[in-house]
Amino acid sequence: MAIHPIEYRYGTEEMRNVWEEENKLQKMLDVEAALAEAESEFGLVPKEASSQIREKANTKYVTLERVKEIERQTNHDIASIVKALAEACEGDAGEYVHFGATSNDIIDTSQSLLFRESIEILREKLVKVTKTLLNLAEEHKNTVCIGRTHGQHALPLTYGMKFALWADEFHRQIERMDECKNRLCVGMLTGAVGTIAALGKEGLDVHKRVSEILDLKPVLISNQIVQRDNHAEFIMDLANIASTLDKIAVEIRSLQRTEIKEVGEKFDPKKQVGSSTMPHKRNPITAERINGVSRVIRSYVTPALENNPLWHERDLTNSSCERIILPESCILTDYILNLTNKLLNNLVFYPENIERNLNCTHGLIMAERFMAELTRRGMGRQTAYALARDCSMEAYEKNTGLLDTVLTNDEIKQYLSEAEIREIMDPHTYIGSSVKIVDNVLEASKEWF
């Protein structure tokens, strides 16, 4: 019976398949096979034994059931794999399984293979979301809307700016993931404390060759484990990605609020139900799920950092923790990347509400423009600011539009004609370089992928 929501509710099959038990076992068998192959090349293991180990290092022969059966007796996961592989081999080949290795040589190197598969999936999703955002930026680079700071109406901008901003951030997330991969996905065959003593003078050569066979970069130095700053960086990168997804979902949720309703999630009125008691509800459930799951991903940063300072050359306190945080972080990040792409591809825009909100302050959002224009016409900037502020506060107090207040101000009329004042009041013409900025992002993005 399923217990964890990852098993039945959250996650994609492709990422679950990376971290499911049989694939993890196969990756450890791949490392054992690479070890035997490398050792045979340096005369430490007979070629025939290496070939037999390579053939039998497969879950067809070393079954998960058999490994678990042995583990119930040994209470040691890697020793159980070693025994199961050894007994699957013919002749005396099994005697050479795991020669010169310690458990974490197998665990850490195989985890690098799992990380590599996970990052390939995550990177593909990151690129997909980025391209979706770029398409939205192109489509809406002229869709003028109100910008908000501190939750208050500030100045006009465009929806294209919002989407381009997020696309640029996703590009940085892709770069971080690529950089992290180079440090994280490393091979290690260095023995119990990092000296490779059991393999004698061939130790470093075997260490390098195992990584080469597995298409990994050999770790430069280790103790019993690959140092966990690498793993912490990976979890922090996932948390950072989750934070970006959280940001996007929060914005869409806010814009979908009844009193704003500029943008919202697609809702199927024929099938979808918003509430078990309120028939009218259309809730931002996808965005809310992204927000909720992102909190779980970010929470794994602390244990990931605490896994780095271990006793001496290594203790076991990181192991149980990593069995939870590594697969869950990958599965959940992949899941909310999928949700975000779905959300963005199905956004519903409400142009009439975008326009209504742009004008709901009756022109107060154009006060900065008045200040700037008065300064250009010769009024001192500080004086212009004070005058524009006085007019704004008067409009607030009297609950009139800024236009009416400005048109009756004799000092402003010395610098601006009525026609010029009315032109200044148009928010659609006060978006600065926003279109060009979006075009710059779109142009730069041609080099991103």
Q: How confident is the model over 290-345, as pLDDT tens digits? A: 999 999 999 999 999 999 999 999 999 999 999 999 999 999 999 999 999 999 99
Measure the CA dihedral 39/41/46/50, to 10°: 70
The pLDDT assigned to 282 comes to: 82
Residue written as token pair 């009125």: 269
Q: Of all helices (H) and strands (E), which one includes residue 149?
A: strand 144-149
Q: Is the pLDDT of residue 63 over 80?
A: yes
Residue written as token pair 């489509």: 139
Q: Based on the number of CB atoms within 10 Å of its own CB, is 418 exposed (0-12), middle (13-18) or buried (19 or more)? A: exposed
Query: Which residues, including other chains, have CB under 8 Å from residue 339's CB and lie 6 or more apart?
Result: 286, 289, 290
Q: Please, are residues 384 and 374 in contact by the beta-carbon 8 Å criterion?
A: yes
Q: Is the pLDDT of residue 443 over 80?
A: yes
Distance CA 445, CA 447 (A): 5
The pLDDT assigned to 254 comes to: 96
Secondary structure letter of residue 94 according to DSSP:
G
Q: Give the burial string for 308-331 (b: 16+ CB within 10 Å, else e).
A: eebeeebeeebeebbeebbbbbbb
Assess whether 4 carries a catalytic annotation. no
Closest by CA to 145, choosing from 135, 154, 133, is 154
Pairing, β 263-264 against β 348-349: antiparallel
* pLDDT tens figures, 31-50: 999 999 999 999 999 999 99
Q: Is the pLDDT of residue 283 over 90?
A: no
Tally of CA atoms within 13 A in the half-sphere of 167 that contains its CB: 29
Q: Please, are residues 335 and 10 in contact by the beta-carbon 8 Å criterion?
A: yes
Closest by CA to 55, choosing from 23, 94, 102, 107, is 94
Distance CA 245, CA 249 (A): 6
Strands, E, within 272-395: which ranges? 348-349
Tokens of 448: 């991103």
Q: Is the pLDDT of residue 405 over 80?
A: yes
Its pTM surpasses 0.75: yes
**Structural domains of the chain in order of their starting residue, each with its CATH number:** 16-96 (1.10.275.10), 103-265+277-357 (1.20.200.10), 364-424 (1.10.40.30)
The pLDDT assigned to 330 comes to: 98
Q: Tell me how far the alpha carbon of residue 70 is from its chain's centroid.
A: 38
Q: Which whole-number Å values give the CA distances from 46 to 34, 37, 49, 54, 302, in the listed order?
A: 14, 9, 5, 12, 46
Tokens of 361: 């302050």
Q: Is the pLDDT of residue 281 over 80?
A: no
Mean pLDDT, range 75-88, rounded to an integer: 96
More confident residue, 344 or 400: 344
Q: Band of the pLDDT at 160, cuts 50, 70, 90? A: very high
The pLDDT assigned to 270 comes to: 79
Q: Is the pLDDT of residue 398 over 90?
A: no
Please report, as a single letter, which amino acid is at residue 140: H
Which residues, listed in sequence order, are joined to residue 349 by a DSSP beta bridge? 263
Q: Is the pLDDT of residue 277 over 80?
A: no
The pLDDT assigned to 248 comes to: 98
Q: Which phi and psi (to 5°) does residue 3 adopt?
A: -120, -50
**3-state DSSP assignment of residue 349:** strand
**3-state DSSP assignment of residue 439:** helix
Mean pLDDT of the chain: 95
Assess whether 428 carries a catalytic annotation. no
* pLDDT tens figures, 178-190: 999 999 999 999 9
Q: Please, are residues 232 and 291 in contact by the beta-carbon 8 Å criterion?
A: no
Q: Band of the pLDDT at 115, cuts 50, 70, 90? A: very high
Q: For helices 103-139 and 317-345, what crossing angle results, to 10°?
A: 20
* High-pLDDT (> 70) share of the chain, %: 100
Q: Band of the pLDDT at 428, cuts 50, 70, 90? A: very high
Which residues, listed in sequence order, are joined to residue 148 by a DSSP beta bridge? 153
**3-state DSSP assignment of residue 186:** strand
* pLDDT tens figures, 215-270: 999 999 999 999 999 999 999 999 999 999 999 999 999 999 999 999 998 877 77
The pLDDT assigned to 69 comes to: 96
Give me the catalytic one of 4, 76, 275, 428: 275
Give me the catalytic one of 150, 276, 280, 433: 150
C-alpha angle with apex 340: 338 to 341, nearest 5 degrees? 65
Which residues, listed in sequence order, are joined to residue 158 by a DSSP beta bridge? 144
* Alpha-helix runs per DSSP H in 346-429: 351-358, 367-376, 381-398, 402-407, 410-413, 418-424
